[in-house]
Amino acid sequence: MDVTLLGTGAPQGLPRPGCPCAACATAVGDEARAATALLVDGALMIDLTPGPAFAAARAGRSLAGVRQVLLSHPHDGPAMEVPAGLPQPGRVADGRELALLDGHRVRATAVDIPGTGYEISGADGERLLYLPPGAAPAGLGNGNSRAAGGGAEGVGGAGPYDLVLLDVLARPDALARLRASGAVDAATDVVAVHLDHGVPPGPELHRRLAAVGARAVADGSTLLVGEFHAVPDLPRRTLVLGGARSGKSVEAERRLAAFPDVVYVATGGTREGDQDWAQRVSLHRERRPSSWRTVETCDLVPLLEAAGPGRAAAGPGTDAAGPGEGGGPGAGSRTGRPAGVSPLLIDCLALWLTHVMDEVGAWDDATWEAGGRQALRERTDALVAAVRETHRPVVAVSNEVGSGVVPATSAGRRFRDELGRLNAAFAAECEQVLLVVAGQALALRG
């Protein structure tokens, strides 16, 4: 079964008509995209794109054999024409199945916005899932566990799809839900469609998609369902560095937004009477997916060791999931994975270091020289060793503070120096290291 993408853009296309933004200005060549539409084996068309006959011709295809045209969503883009000779477009009711004469079977799946997803099976058993713009599958939970009753009747009930086409950038949680349900696995080809001007086209678009195990293709591309496509290996350990308000936490969160069962490790805790700190914490909480579990702790080593062979997934701290979710990040039996493989997002190492320096008395010169220095080394060495040995995906955030003015106090200089040493040691154990400046992520490694 092959799928030709007559368009891969949002309903209004990319660039958007009349839009002066930088993304639209640079959406040229292969990065210019018409509204998403699919041509399956030359016989089935899903959604319409402007000038579909010309789009098909540019891709070396013909619409002469199309026997069914299905729509997935209410159309709010440019006016669409139905070329002469094509069947009148229609939609299939959720849960209903349509059998075509050429052997394709189309099953309509419910989504969480107005519209319909389509599960298409070929004559040889290949399967693909197509979701409309801005949509996630309905009835699959929130990306934190396998949905109840998600058997053969649900999305992905017959096992992982060979190909999934969805709005990855606008709805990364949809991909997280599909992964949690088993409908997407490491062999599934995940292709982003409905691409809009929210992300700059070109290298940044492809970088963000690769970070979540997806890819984008140009309009007119033909995909063979079930054919292997190499997607960059997802790094197990990533360190995201940046200055204050640089966007480092947003970048870290973005890298795990399309994965289920994420455990957010908050090392900052609470600060009585500090309204500015409370506001910062609130903004972080509002930005995170509701499915993520939060653990407030600076005891990071047990969390990193939890997924090791033969280890129980018990972790310290306060788990925001509440009673019944377990005491740590490994309550993953509902997803069919071993306990403890939930990804960790640690935010941040600078606050962890502050806490440890408090505990060892590193701020006092006499205590520092009398044993505080050695105690801190032992704690940081233990953390770095745990990162080296961990079996779970980790994204950690840390401040880059060595490029500014020299602190006026010895304690300030000590913190700056020790954070620099910690960042360097932690980065040495990571497959990928990023530096975020003005919201732009620069790859230092990986």
Q: Catalytic pick from 104, 206, 229, 284?
A: 284
Alpha carbons 350 and 416: distance in angstroms, whole number: 10
Report CA Rg, the chain: 25
Contact 152, 95 (CB under 8 A): no
Give me 392's structure tokens. 């779970």
Q: Which residue, among 322, 315, 317, has the nearest Cα to 392 in the 3D structure? A: 315
Contact 55, 66 (CB under 8 A): no
- Collapsing DSSP to helix, strand or coil, 321 comes out as coil
Q: What is the pLDDT of residue 74?
A: 85
Q: What is the pLDDT of residue 290?
A: 82
pTM of the model: 0.86
H or E stretch at 240: strand 237-242
Q: What is the DSSP letter of 87?
A: P
Q: Which long-range contacts (CB under 8 A, 24 or more apart) does 14-23 make?
A: 14/195, 14/196, 14/197, 14/201, 15/197, 16/196, 16/197, 17/78, 19/197, 21/197, 22/200, 23/197, 23/198, 23/199, 23/200, 23/201
Print pLDDT tens along the chain (446 aa): 999 999 999 999 999 999 999 999 999 999 999 999 999 999 999 999 988 999 999 999 999 999 999 999 987 666 677 888 899 999 999 999 999 877 899 999 999 999 999 999 998 899 999 999 999 999 876 555 444 444 334 565 678 999 999 999 999 999 999 999 999 998 999 999 999 999 989 999 999 999 999 999 999 999 999 988 777 678 899 999 999 899 999 999 999 999 999 999 999 865 666 677 667 666 767 777 888 999 999 999 999 998 655 444 444 444 433 323 333 323 333 333 444 479 999 999 999 999 999 999 999 999 999 999 999 999 999 999 999 999 999 999 999 988 878 888 999 999 999 999 999 999 999 999 999 999 999 999 98
Token match 């040495």: residue? Answer: 428
* Alpha helices per DSSP H over 348-437: 349-360, 365-367, 373-389, 410-428
Which residues are paired to 190 by β-bridges?
A: 164
Q: What is the pLDDT of residue 279?
A: 72
Q: What is the pLDDT of residue 288?
A: 76
Q: What is the pLDDT of residue 64?
A: 93
Q: What is the pLDDT of residue 312?
A: 46
Is 284 catalytic? The answer is: yes
Alpha carbons 185 and 342: distance in angstroms, whole number: 15
Q: Which residue, among 165, 103, 92, 102, has the nearest Cα to 135 in the 3D structure? A: 165
